[in-house]
Amino acid sequence: MSLKHGILGLLSLNSASGYDLSKLFSESLNYFWMANQSQIYRELDKMEEGGWVLSEKIEQSARPNKRVYRITQAGSQELLNWLKDEGIDQLMVIRSPLLMKIFFAGKIDRADVIKLLIAYRAECEKQQQTIKEEVAQIGYFEESAQKPAYWKYTTNYCIEYYNFLIRWATDTLSSLTNLK
């Protein structure tokens, strides 16, 4: 997945300002695809140049003016093409800063690695709890093949992913403490 496709997906649900998209992203897609507000605005500019989105300037009296973006027919087609593209090799890409650190961790004191893994496991537990709370909210929507059922699939994946990460961190911590 790329950021642009996540943005197109959100715009396929509803028109939104860049700020609103950033907020929507952090409340939904952020569980499996991180993006900050500046990245979203940068992609919106590129997508508007490419004809995938259009923006309209909305003047506001009490607040600064804003731009509201909507997906175009070309953007909708790009989203559909991306959704139908199997691209299994791209789906299998793993990039983990943690694993990169662990791979080379023999160069630092074991206590530092243990400290890192304890903090990592705690953050995984925190993220998992946040997702579980979101799953409870999704349950309030009527399930259909269009939205909430698929949203639940992604959040369930994330919960299981964090289960694995927590278990892996616990096992690795146990192994590290038993190393001679």
My answer on whether 85 and 109 are in the same domain is: no
What total of structural domains would you count in the chain?
2
My answer on whether 68 and 136 are in the same domain is: no
What whole-number distance in Å separates Cα of residue 149 and Cα of residue 174?
Answer: 38
My answer on whether 78 and 142 are in the same domain is: no
Opening angle at CA 21, ends 16 and 23, nearest 5: 125
My answer on whether 76 and 124 are in the same domain is: no
Identify which of 91, 87, 88, 119 has the alpha carbon closest to the alpha carbon of residue 33.
91
My answer on whether 57 and 71 are in the same domain is: yes
pTM of the model: 0.77
My answer on whether 32 and 8 are in the same domain is: yes
My answer on whether 101 and 145 are in the same domain is: yes
- Mean of the pLDDT values across residues 43-48? 96
My answer on whether 104 and 169 are in the same domain is: yes
Domain span at 20: 3-91
CATH of the domain at 9: 1.10.10.10
Report pLDDT digits (tens) over 128-180: 998 888 777 765 555 555 666 788 788 889 999 999 999 999 999 999 999 87
In this predicted structure, what is the pLDDT of residue 120? 98
Domain boundary among 91, 113, 140: 91
Report pLDDT digits (tens) over 97-126: 999 999 999 999 999 999 999 999 999 999
H or E, element range at 67: strand 66-71
Domain boundary among 91, 117, 143: 91
A 10 A CB-CB count for 26 gives: 14
A 10 A CB-CB count for 101 gives: 15
In this predicted structure, what is the pLDDT of residue 1? 58
My answer on whether 86 and 14 are in the same domain is: yes
In this predicted structure, what is the pLDDT of residue 141? 54
Instruction: Write b or e for each residue in 44-57: b if 16 or more Cβ atoms lie within 10 A of its Cβ, otherwise e.
Output: beebbeeebbbbee
